[in-house]
Amino acid sequence: MTTQHLRLGVNIDHVATIRNARGGGHPDPVRAARLAAAAGADGITAHLREDRRHISDTDIDRLVNNIDLPLNLEIAATDEMLSIAVRHKPHAACIVPEKRQEVTTEGGLDAAGGIVLLRPYCTALAAAGIRVSLFIDPEARQLDAAKALGAPVVELHTGAFCEAFLEDREGPPVKAELKRLEAAAAHAAALGLECHAGHGLTYDTVGFVAAIGSVVELNIGHFLVGEAIFCGLDSAIKRMRVLMDQARADGAGARSA
Ligand code: PXP
């Protein structure tokens, strides 16, 4: 299955990280979300972490009430996060693993090992009309578990691929990680799961993932917010969009050739 339009979800967590470095209200993640919408984002992603290190509860309130784009709320599988999600009813909730000491989301959710723990959260989110997504490593057993949990969406963790690329962009690990992503995306399609991907993507790496035809959405944050320091958020998002669209079009061309 090839989807021509590849959606871009802009993750605004690190606008809040910069704001929180000083306290106060600047820079405002809601303003960033509005700007992202104007620049061509298809959705906004925000991770309400248990330690509230970036996005706050007030940010979620304000995002829900002030943006027109679909909100993808990233949460850990906890009762507190479930009740926040059910109260706000975002378009989607992406369940992610969370460790307090980690700098960012390291590795995917162990859906295969956590079916019993995850099932009530998936069921309750779906019952509230929220589209459930599971952030998993690109492994067949994790996809099979997502299917067993009834999640309609999976988001493949692209961190290992991006890290391998940073180490040595021509090296065998990059090719191996890309193959894992391609195989996982194909497996997701075969299972009837909508496939998203994200984590660590940059201008240099986005094209490889965008070229995978069965991936329908990329969620990108840190690089865009970092790049915004140099060229502005609008321009960073537009450039990312162009690179995604080019890779998608080239990928489609290669498949039909
Ligand atoms: N998708 C998920 C599920 C994430 O947890 C994150 C990071 O919060 C991202 C995408 C975006 O990753 P990055 O900020 O590295 O672009």
What is the spatial distance between Cα 213 and Cα 77, in angstroms, rounded to a whole number? 30
- Residue numbers of the domain that contains 216: 7-256
Domain membership flag for residue 210: yes
According to the model, what pLDDT value does residue 253 have? 61
Tell me the per-residue pLDDT of 2-61, one tens digit each, with 9 for 90 and over. Answer: 557 899 999 999 999 999 999 999 999 999 999 999 999 999 999 999 999 999 999 999
Tell me the per-residue pLDDT of 112-135, one tens digit each, with 9 for 90 and over. Answer: 999 999 999 999 999 999 999 999
- At residue 106 the predicted structure's pLDDT band, cuts being 50, 70 and 90, is confident
Domain membership flag for residue 2: no
Residue nearest to atom 4 of ligand 1 (CA): 199
What is the spatial distance between Cα 76 and Cα 55, in angstroms, rounded to a whole number? 14
Domain membership flag for residue 187: yes
According to the model, what pLDDT value does residue 7 have? 98
User: Which segments of the chain does DSSP mark as H helices, in order?
Assistant: 13-22, 29-39, 57-66, 79-88, 115-127, 140-148, 159-167, 172-191, 206-210, 222-231, 233-256
According to the model, what pLDDT value does residue 252 have? 67
Structural domains in the chain (count): 1
Tell me the per-residue pLDDT of 192-247, one tens digit each, with 9 for 90 and over. Answer: 999 999 999 999 999 999 999 999 999 999 999 999 999 999 999 999 999 999 99
Domain membership flag for residue 107: yes
56 residue type, one letter: S
Tokens standing for 171? 């090296």
Distance 221 CA to ligand 1 centre (A): 6
Distance 19 CA to ligand 1 centre (A): 18
Domain membership flag for residue 217: yes
According to the model, what pLDDT value does residue 254 have? 64
According to the model, what pLDDT value does residue 257 have? 54
**223 in contact with ligand 1, CB cutoff 6 A:** yes
**pTM over cut 0.85:** yes
Task: Check whether 255 has a pLDDT greater than 70.
Answer: no
According to the model, what pLDDT value does residue 73 have? 98
Domain membership flag for residue 1: no
According to the model, what pLDDT value does residue 251 have? 79
Q: Average pLDDT for residues 127-155, to the nearest whole number?
A: 98
According to the model, what pLDDT value does residue 99 have? 78
**94 in contact with ligand 1, CB cutoff 6 A:** yes
CB atoms within 10 A of CB 108: 22
**217 in contact with ligand 1, CB cutoff 6 A:** no
> Is residue 33 within 8 Å of 241, Cβ to Cβ?
no
According to the model, what pLDDT value does residue 256 have? 57
In this structure, the dihedral spanned by the alpha carbons of residues 206, 179, 72 and 151, taken in order and rounded to 10 degrees, is 170
Domain membership flag for residue 39: yes
Task: Check whether 163 has a pLDDT greater than 60.
Answer: yes
Tell me the per-residue pLDDT of 81-97, one tens digit each, with 9 for 90 and over. Answer: 999 999 999 999 999 99
Ligand 1 pocket: which of 18, 105, 135, 227 to mutate (most atoms <8 Å of CB)? 105
According to the model, what pLDDT value does residue 103 have? 73
What is the spatial distance between Cα 93 and Cα 80, in angstroms, rounded to a whole number? 14
From residue 72, alpha-carbon distances to 9, 158, 190 in Å are: 8, 18, 24
Residues marked as catalytic: 47, 74, 199
Residue nearest to atom 1 of ligand 1 (CA): 198
Task: Check whether 138 has a pLDDT greater than 80.
Answer: yes
**199 in contact with ligand 1, CB cutoff 6 A:** yes
> Is residue 63 within 8 Å of 51, Cβ to Cβ?
no
CATH number, domain containing residue 112? 3.20.20.70
